Structure 1
């Protein structure tokens, strides 16, 4: 974990049920639990949403359903209720970390206000989540819906040699080395007396710069393995800690 949330913090998981599918809840709880104890579980939506596809999930995961009627067509009162409850929990000092489960960029301003007051905010959203919301939080967790077996795509050869009920195995992502990692190391190492930056500090910086940053997205199992692929960076280990610096220029 790279965020600066207090250890064993009080966590709120607030779900915009009108905006995301019920399958996201289990993932959201896993993400929230890494920061501490989830003390507030609420799902917000209109009568059509909460009375049908969301009911079983909210009951199973012990969420409090927050039903908001639409007083006028096209007006989403659930968003306002979620924002007000989040601010109330902040001012009552009941919650230190807010996990907002939504892909709606309307919540970007709420993220900024919560962070201005000292709270840690993460977003759990779908790949469609706009940059405006991703960059407004401390950390963004992208949730990918599971592809059902019957929806998996097959080639003609696969169909002839594979059971049609099984999806084709996914290919590993190609390993990539984005330039911004080198720039980040150069920037941080330049301010350090040793000329190197710890791997944990580098990870924290990269997350702050881009809440959605993950070595997995570039085909690497972790930041250490990712750094090892760079010719322009050098790694050294001191005890249990790793440090990285720009590679010395070759004569």
Structure 2
């Protein structure tokens, strides 16, 4: 099985439904998951609404695909992007796709690509409809990409006055506890990396940065009333493995 960093990805961007202001941050985020061997962006480039994208296309070697809106009220960009995605799928040149859009019209496409054994990453705004989010293997919100306020919990504490982060509510705590229980050994300890991976499967848009934390470890450490954390040295290595246990168990 390929390492995730070796994945060849097709990055398909919906210019009509994504802001251009953080394109570098988006591409840096995508690079964490694999190598973007195909980068295409779809829109009607005769319209002033997408003009802001044009300088970024040359800088980041993104191929613009012109798609005229032939019919009022119909999104021709969606159709062009879907057709291209299926052509790329059948060419067998990539291991996965990154669909950059906040449009629920790509829900069926994401499902179809996953049915064909491809990994699907989604990037969009927080307004993205839930069906598209859960159709992806992982979904990242644009609002957290490159957010400088996210740092070891400080952002979460100051969130009401700064960026609007998600609340760590009882529903989220229950998700964490259930997942720790699913992974835990007989003594109640669970390897935090495995906990994070399972949460991602249950909730594709899960990301500690949504809550103001850069990683899962500081997020869990902040929940001192709910969890106990144990950092264990790995023999002959300068690293530590993080384990978590539900408090009181």
TM-score range, shorter chain: 0.7 to 0.9
Provide structure 2 residue ranges, at least 5 long, that are not aligned to the other structure. 146-160, 235-239
Question: Aligned equivalents of 1:94 and 1:227: distance in 2?
Answer: 39
Question: Aligned equivalents of 2:41 and 2:54: distance in 1?
Answer: 10
* 1:181 aligned onto 2:214: no
Question: Aligned equivalents of 2:47 and 2:58: distance in 1?
Answer: 14
Deviates more, 1:136-145 or 1:212-221: 212-221
Structure 1 residues 241, 184: closer, same or farther in 2, change over 3 A? same
**TM-fit CA distance, 1:174:** 9.5
Alignment check: 8 A CA contact 1:135 1:211 kept: yes
Question: Aligned equivalents of 2:47 and 2:220: distance in 1?
Answer: 45
Count of paired positions:
222
Question: Aligned equivalents of 1:108 and 1:77: distance in 2?
Answer: 16
Residue deviations 1:119-142 (CA, integer Å, cap 9, x gap): 111111112111111111111111
Which residue number in structure 2 is paired with residue 45 of structure 1? 43
TM-score (norm 1): 0.78
Question: Aligned equivalents of 1:224 and 1:135: distance in 2?
Answer: 24
Report the RMSD for the aligned CA atoms in angstroms.
2.7
**TM-fit CA distance, 1:173:** 6.3
Instruction: Give the alignment partner of residue 8 of structure 2, picking from 7, 10, 17.
Output: 10
Provide structure 1 residue ranges, at least 5 long, that are not aligned to the other structure. 147-168
Which residue number in structure 1 is paired with residue 247 of structure 2? 247
Which residue number in structure 2 is paired with residue 227 of structure 1? 220
Q: SS of 2:4's equivalent?
A: coil
Which residue number in structure 1 is paired with residue 208 of structure 2? 215
Alignment check: 8 A CA contact 2:5 2:34 kept: yes
Question: Aligned equivalents of 1:213 and 1:196: distance in 2?
Answer: 22
**TM-fit CA distance, 1:82:** 0.8
Structure 1 residues 19, 172: closer, same or farther in 2, change over 3 A? closer
**TM-fit CA distance, 1:181:** 0.8
